[in-house]
Structure 1
C-alpha cells in the first residue's frame, strides 16, 4: 500500500526539501501540519503569519492545517490533531524535516506512536553532512529567503538574503550549523518545482523580538509563473 503522510511544515527549506524527497520516493503527501501556540498566534519556531503558509498551501496544492495549542499542552494537542487527520486523510504516517537532533526525533517518534502512525525522517543525516544538504537545496530549483536570525549569531544583514551560492559561501564561514538546525536562522520558500504558482514578497519590515530579528512582509500574493505583475 502506498504510504500516505502528513508533513510537519514550517514554511522553510527543511520542510520543503523533505516534501521534494518524499514525492520523488513515491509517497503521497495528504496534508501539511503546523502548530500555532495561542500565546503568540503565529507558527511555532518561525513566528510566521498564517496567511503566508496558506499561500504556500495554495501554491503547492496541498491542504495545510494549523494545530492550535498552548506551550503547556503542545504535545497533547499535536497528538489529538494527528488522530483526527489520520481518520480524515487515511494517513499511514507523519514526516518531519529534522536533520540530526536526537531530541527532536525522539519527540516526533513519540507523538507518532501515540497517534499510531509511522514517523518518517527523509532527511535524517549526520551533523557533518548539513553543508551538503544546504547545497542540495540551493541547487534544487526551490527559492527561499532568510526571514529570521538569532541575535547572538547573525546580524540583520542576513535577513532577506536568498539561499544561493553566495549564501552558501558565507554561511559555511560562520561558527554555526549551515542548515540552521538549532534555529540559527529560518527561511521562507516562495517558489520551486512543486509550486504551481510563486509567491511574491514585498515591503519588508524588520521586527525585533526577544532574542531574534524577523523579516515581516507587508505585501504578499500568488503570481502565475508566466506573469510579471507585482504585489498591490
Structure 2
C-alpha cells in the first residue's frame, strides 16, 4: 500500500529534489507544508511570496498547506498542523529536504514523533557529498534561480543566477560556502522541471536589501503552458 506523506516545502532546490526522490521511491506526497509568519504573506524559510508557492503547488498538482505561525510558537503550530493533516489526509509521515545538519534533523524527528508520524529524510548525506547533490540537481532537468544571498559570504551578483553548469563551477571557487547552501548562504526558487505541468514565468526582477541578506523580488509572475 502506498504511503501518504506530507513534505516540508520551501520552494527551493532541496525540497524539489526531495519531492522527486520521494516519488521515485513510491511515496504519495499529498501535501506540501510551508510555514508563514502571520500577516506577512511570505514564507519563513526563504521570505518568498505565498502566491509563488501556490503556483508551484498548482503546477505540481499537489495542494499547499500553509502553517501560520510565529517564531515563539513555531514548533507547536507545526505539530498542530501535522495532526490536522494526519486526520484529513491520512498521512503516515512527514518528509524534509535537509541534507546533513543534525540539529535540523533532531527537531524534525522530534516533531514527527510527537505526532506519531515517521520522519523521512530522502536527501540525507555527509557534508562532503553536498557537491554531488548539486550536480544531481543541475542535471535533473529542474530549473531554479538564486533569490536570496547572505551578504557575509556572497554578494548580490549571485542574485538571479540560474542553477546550471556555470553555477556549479563558480560555487566551488568559494570555499566558505556549502555548494548546496545548507547553512543559508543562498536560497533558490524552482520554476520548472519534470514534475511541473506548467512553467512559472518570472518577470521584472528587482533587488531588496534586508538586514543581513539581499533578495530578488519578481513583480510579475504567472503559469504558462510548456
The alignment partner of 1:166 has SS state of: helix
SS at match of 2:72: coil
1:130-169 superposed Cα distances (whole Å, 9 cap, x missing partner):
0000000000000000000001010000000000000000
Q: Does the CA contact (< 8 Å) of 2:37 and 2:43 recur in 1?
A: yes
**TM-score (structure 1 length as normaliser):** 0.96
Q: CA RMSD in A?
A: 0.8
Number of the residue aligned with 1:95: 95
1:40, distance to aligned residue in structure 2 (A) = 4.1
Partner-residue secondary structure (3-state), 2:2: coil
Partner residue in 2 for 1:2: 2
Alignment correspondent of 2:80: 80
Correspondence list, 1:108-127, <5 A: 108-127=108-127
Partner of 1:37: 37
Greater CA drift, 171-180 or 121-130? 171-180
CA distance in 1, matches of 2:39, 2:4: 32
What's the TM-score, normalizing by structure 2? 0.98
1:37 and 1:51 map into 2 onto residues whose CA distance is 14
Q: Counterparts of 1:38 and 1:102 in 2: how far apart (Å)?
A: 28
Q: Contact (CA 8 Å) 1:39, 1:70: kept in 2 or not? A: no
Instruction: Give the superposition deviation at 1:39.
Output: 6.6
| Residue matched to 2:195 | 194
Match of 2:209?
208
Unaligned runs of 5+ in 1: 226-232
Counterpart of 1:168 in structure 2 is: 168
Contact 1:21 1:122 in 2 (8 A): yes
Q: Deviations over 1:75-115 (max 9, x none)?
A: 00000011001111100100000000000000000110111
